[in-house]
Amino acid sequence: MADMSGGGGRGGAGGGGGFMRQMSTIRHRQSRVGSTVGESTASTAHSQHTLLPSASIRRPSQVHRFHGEIEFTGLNQTARFAKLSPHMSDSAIRDLLQRRWGLRPPTLIITVFGTDFEKKRKLKMIFKKGLWKAADSGCWIVTGGFQLGIMKLAGEAVRDYTDAYGGNRMIAFGVSSWGCVKKNDILEAALEEFLYLQTQNN
């Protein structure tokens, strides 16, 4: 899951071709998931290209999730991301969004999915302006995160709105399966490095 608004995530941040396409720097925060899913309250440090712990890991077979920020090359913008376990509880996701990321509960959630869209300029502008008005009302926009069709157009709407008004007013997410995230091997490598370091220290 990626928060495309973040510090101003650009375009169709999320899965598919868009989310990791312009990534240059990753800052991670990682925590352990046991029988009760929830973020550790221990303080965490940030380091470029390094995954730093907020809680110890008891055994390699545990399910892990991590989240952090992505810096986009040349754009001076960031977007938050999270990898979620399929076993993660609703309350844990709510905790991540509201307490960790500081997002207010939405007045409405708009989902935008699909790859086909009418390419007439007038219709595109009507669609974008509709999303901009919705953003002013405190809603969240959720897409599949792909750089295709109407989802790409939603990403462009977020980008244009962010450029004009700043990165904290339009809340948008790209939600995709992990396998569809481009260059996810960079994130996986950082996680594996962290697990290896923890194993060596235990």
| Chain segment 106-152, per-residue pLDDT in tens | 888 888 887 777 677 888 888 888 888 887 788 888 988 787 788 88
With a cut of 80, say whether residue 34 has pLDDT above it.
no
Rounded to an integer, what distance in angstroms lies between the CA atom of residue 192 and that of residue 130? 42
pLDDT digits (tens, 9 = 90+) for 12-21: 334 443 333 3
Identify the pLDDT of residue 31: 37
H/E element holding 136?
A: helix 121-136
Model confidence at 193, in pLDDT bands (50, 70, 90)? low
Identify the pLDDT of residue 9: 38
Minimal CA–CA distance to 14: which of 116, 159, 126?
159
Rounded to an integer, what distance in angstroms lies between the CA atom of residue 23 and that of residue 117? 27
Model confidence at 58, in pLDDT bands (50, 70, 90)? very low
- Write down the mean pLDDT value for the chain: 65
* Whole-structure pTM value: 0.57
Q: What is the mean pLDDT of residues 70-96?
A: 79
CB–CB of 181/20 below 8 Å? yes
pLDDT digits (tens, 9 = 90+) for 149-185: 888 888 888 888 878 877 667 888 888 888 887 777 7
Q: Which residues of 32-52 are buried (b: 16+ CB within 10 A; e: fewer)?
A: bbeeebbbeeeebeeeeeebe
| Residue 168: partners with Cβ closer than 8 Å, 6 or more residues away | 5
Identify the pLDDT of residue 59: 32
Minimal CA–CA distance to 8: which of 155, 114, 190?
155
pLDDT digits (tens, 9 = 90+) for 88-107: 888 888 888 888 888 888 88
